[in-house]
Structure formats: structure tokens, C-alpha cells
Chains A and B, each alone.
Chain A
């Protein structure tokens, strides 16, 4: 006894190196197909098949074999069975008006009549029998026509009925034939009847032929019905298979759709889970590095800023008059604002261009006012272009006279305002999320306000004039130390202390005044 092996293994071993040559002409067929000769092979076959089926169906319709299967047409076509047309017409009309049931009853009635005729073989009876035969033929013909119409509806049960009806009709015919036969054999009067009646001429041979024909027709009918039943069964089976296949297909489609919906649902859940995890989980160092890189990688930025400014001088002096040199001075904080555009050269450096407003204030305290016969010393400052003043220092404005009469010690306040156009080179010392930059550069100052006020202790103010030698256009050296925080990919906060030293503020610097101002800018920047 050998060892047991799995069937699959056995076949694997057997078919391991299995090869077989196809038919010799296969390549030619393939080549033809590839050349396009075989294009439409299947559609052509389909067309040919369709054409053959169509022609076959047309032939069947023209030939109408179901008509020849019935007994009646052959009987009617037999010249010996022909009755005068007027009689046939009359009978036909009569039968046409009856129902199928009536016709069957009619046949039965006729048969019984024929039985009677057998015993009384008188010419009149025979004549009646002949008529009855003709009637029966007509009835059968009607049946045949009905059967034909039933056939087209494809009802097999109707076929059976038709056969039964035809059988009864055939039996009637047989009975009639038999009766007629016996009448012929037994009594020579039949010939006389035949001659006298002149309606129908039936002899034994004809009846025998009719019987054989009838039997053949019946056989053919049975065969046909059997074939059609089989075809119908096959069709039902085929329809059933198709329906089952369709059901399978629909079930599969439904399962597939459900699987897809389920998969989608799970994918959504998974995505939600991942998203939740992502929110809950701290960023990795790589992610942070990526964020940082994104935050410091841009080409342009636009900043708006506001700044706190404080005006002062590097040396002791006054731009208004030498007499003020030793007086205490006070820087007044002011607020400026502006916008700035940055163009990034590389990761570390860039150029910045801006425009801003820089209002500045500077006070010299404790100036002793002297009113000498209407001539007030305030109006005699060498660097001042007084307003509302007559020649010799006497103010024309009564309010001014009253002011200096009331207050003998005042503070001199200079109000200077510039539009500044800074241009900086920015070098980022630290370029990360929080960074630091050094921003040297130059600014252009355009003078927009130049006023000098006298301010009393109670803060009463009087404008006394303007500084004479302030240039309308001047330049300054800038140096800023910028700190910034990249809080988003496109946004940054800035804080930048700035020192601006004015290079040529005066056309004639009387008191060696060297002004500067310090500002601290606070701003927000949009990077892109």
C-alpha cells in the first residue's frame, strides 16, 4: 500500500512541467486578428446567427406547419370531400355563430345521428351523414384555426385541449367513415345514393387514407408539442438560472457597497482617531524643527509699528540760544507710528524700507523772563524766529504781553515733527521662533512741524515762534536691535529699540546741539 497524498499535491506533481502544442494554424488566426481582419468576428457571427434565425422564423410563419398538422385542411382540400359551396357556407355560418362548446356538442350530436344512419342506410340519411361529415369537417377546421391561434400564444395546455377536441372530431370522422364503409359493403344502394346525392364521393380507400393521415398528423402534433414543451422547460430553466445569477450579482453588489461603506466609516474613524492623537500628542522635535523652518522661511514681510520716542542731545547745549545751555533739560516721551516693508535676501539678512511719523519734544526749564518796557527777552533768542512780534521784541498780541506779565519763569518747549523714511539692513543674529536682529541703516527726515512754546508752571502755553535753523530735509544714522517672536507661520511680533542720531538737523548749529532720539518700536509683521 502506498502513502496517502493530497489530491492537490498529486496534480501539482503531474502538471509541474505540463506543456502542449496548440493547433498549427493558431498563429495565422492570431496574426489575422492583429492585422484587423478578425475585427468584428463575433458581431459578424452574431449577425449571421440572427439572420438565420430570422429567416427560419419567417419560413415557419409562411409555411405554417401547425396548419398542416390538423386533419381538417387535408380533408377540406380533398376534392372528394368537397360539398357545394353554398352548403358549406351555410353550415359554416351556422357553426361560426356557436361557441366552441356548442361545436363539440354539435359534433357529438352528429355522431349519434350517424350511428342512426348506419342502421337506416337510406339515401336521405346518407345524405344527412354526408352533410354531417362536411359539418364535422368544418367544425374541425374551426378547431384547427383556434388551435393555431392558441399555438401562437404558446400555451401548452391549449395544445392538449386542442388534441382532445381534434381526437373527438377525428373519432367522429372515424365513426362516420366506418358507418359509411359498412353501408358501402352491405348495401349497393350506397352507389345509388352517391349518384343521386352528387354531393360527396367517399370510398373506403379515401377513408383509410384519411385515417392514416390523421394518425400521422396526430403523431406529428404530439412530437411537436413534446418538442415545444421541452423548449419551454429549457427556457424556464434558463430564465431561472439567469434570475439566480442576477440575484447573486445583486447580492454581491450589495455586499460590496456595504463593504465600501464600512471601509469608509472605518477610515473616517481612523482619521478622527489620528487627528485626536495628533492634537493630544506633543509635537516631535522634527515637527518643531519643521515649524521653525516654515516660520523663518519667507520672501517679504510687512510690518506696522508704534513707537515710544525720546528726544535728546549728546552734548550740553541748546539750538535756540546760548543762554539756555546751563538750564535743566527734560525729554518728553512721544508716540510715533509707521509701516515697514522687508525684502529677505537670505535666511539671515534682508533690507527694510519704511515710512513713519516721529513727533519729538524737548524742554528747557526755568528760564527767567525779563520784561523791559515791553521788550521781552524770550523773543530775543538768537535761534528763534518769533511770531506776532514787533521790531525790538515787543509782542503785538495782547495775550502774549499778559502771559509774560503773569509768569516770569517759563519752560521753553521745542516741538519738532518729522516724516522719516528709514532704510535698514537687517542681520538676524538668531533666526528661530524667537530671534534677534541687528538693524543698522539711514533715515531721511522731512520736517513737518517746528514750533517753540513758552509754558508756565500751571501748564499755560504760548507759542513764541519756530527754530530758525532747522533743516527741512535731514538725515540720520539708525541702529536698531530687533527682537521678534514668530508665533505663526505668517505672523511675527516685533520689539525693536532704535537709536537715531541726526547728522545734519541744523543749517546753523548755534549751541553745538547734537540731537538724537531713542525709540522703542512695537509691531506686528505679516510674512509672505
Chain B
């Protein structure tokens, strides 16, 4: 059964077809949720909400664009809705942040993927959303500013600050690991 056929069946409310669609895309969308949410529990909740929304709105899918892209947009939007309305204070001095270097030596790349995911999850909500949207899901700052209802400048500074924080975390993590090795742990 091809995907279009499955989608048609989903539009008719066929539960088996919905389960097949779920099985096809659950891993990708859950990974997306993990990146956009604070932790696994919230990612799990977001995944559920997203699939419910997907199957409720599947009739609006015209079939013109990529279905996977459509699913991802809904999932990302759900995550954004989850965090966008939370109170946000911008504690950053933009000029100060702008001077910070956001590059890192690629010898530090040997960090476990789950650890890197944890770094992302630990970012403040707004920074995490902007970082994910811009760096991992190819949104432009203009799009981000429209979706998050902030200025493009804020989006850029949030991204920069997110990178600075991530760099600090990676550096600190590597330093800890080195110390552990040096101490024979």
C-alpha cells in the first residue's frame, strides 16, 4: 500500500491506516519532539498531541507538498505553542553576546548524541526553539520572527545566545571528562 493510499484511508478515519502512518513516522517525529521539548515526558506528550492533531486535520492536507514535511510542521508548531506563551525575559546584553565566538574545535565532536540532545533540552525555551528552527529545521529568521512573534533581531540574538550556551556546555562537559580520565575514573 503506497503512502497516498494510506493518507486517503486516514482521511476516511481508518484506524489501521492511521496506525501504519504512525509507525512510519513516529521515530522521526519523536526525535523532533525531543529536540524541541525540555525532556522526554514533554516530548512524549507533544508527540501524542501532534499525532492527534495530524489525524484530525489530515483532510486539510492537499497532497501538494511533502507529507513528511507537513507532519513535521504540525509537530514543530505544537512544540512552539507549548513554549511560546510562557513568560520570557531577555537577560542578554546583545552587544556583549555578539562578541562571543560560537565556533568550536571539531576534536570536541566525540560527544554522545544523547548528551548533545540533553544540551539542547537544557537551553531556555526560546533559545531552544530558535536554535532548532534555524539550525536543524532550516527556518529563516524572518519565518521564526513571524511564528514566534518576535523581531528578526531578537531571533538572531536568541540563536547566537543559544550557540554560546551550547559551546559553554560542550566545553565544560569535555573538561569534566578529561578530568575524570586524568583521575583514573
Contacts and interface: CB of A to CB of B under 8 A. Distances in A.
Interface string B22-63: 110011101100110000000110011001100110000000
B135 A5 contact: no
Nearest to B35: A15
Contacts of A242: 87
A279 interface: no
B15 A31 contact: yes
Q: Is the interface of B mostly helix, strand, loop or mixed?
A: helix
Contact of A21 (B26, B51, B55): B26
A4 B136 CA distance: 19
A149 B86 CA distance: 37
B35 A22 contact: no
Q: Say what secondary structure dominates the interface of chain A.
A: helix
Given A7-B167, A8-B102, A242-B87, A22 B26 contact: yes
B27 A7 contact: no
B83 interface: no
Given A1-B105, A26-B26, A242-B87, A20 B135 contact: no
Nearest to B119: A11
B166 interface: yes
A29 interface: yes
A236 interface: no
B121 to A, nearest CB: 12
A18 B103 contact: no
B27 A5 contact: no
B3 interface: no
B135 A12 contact: yes
Nearest to A18: B31
Nearest to A241: B87
Given A18-B113, A20-B31, A26-B44, A7 B102 contact: yes
A19 B43 CA distance: 13
A257 to B, nearest CB: 13
Nearest to B112: A14
Contacts of B87: 241-242, 244-245, 248
A11 B103 contact: no
A3 B163 contact: no
A315 interface: no
Contact of B106 (A10, A15, A18, A20): A10
Contacts of B166: 7, 11
Interface in B45-102: 47-48, 51-52, 55-56, 85-89, 102
B48 A30 contact: yes
Given A4-B106, A29-B48, A12 B136 contact: yes
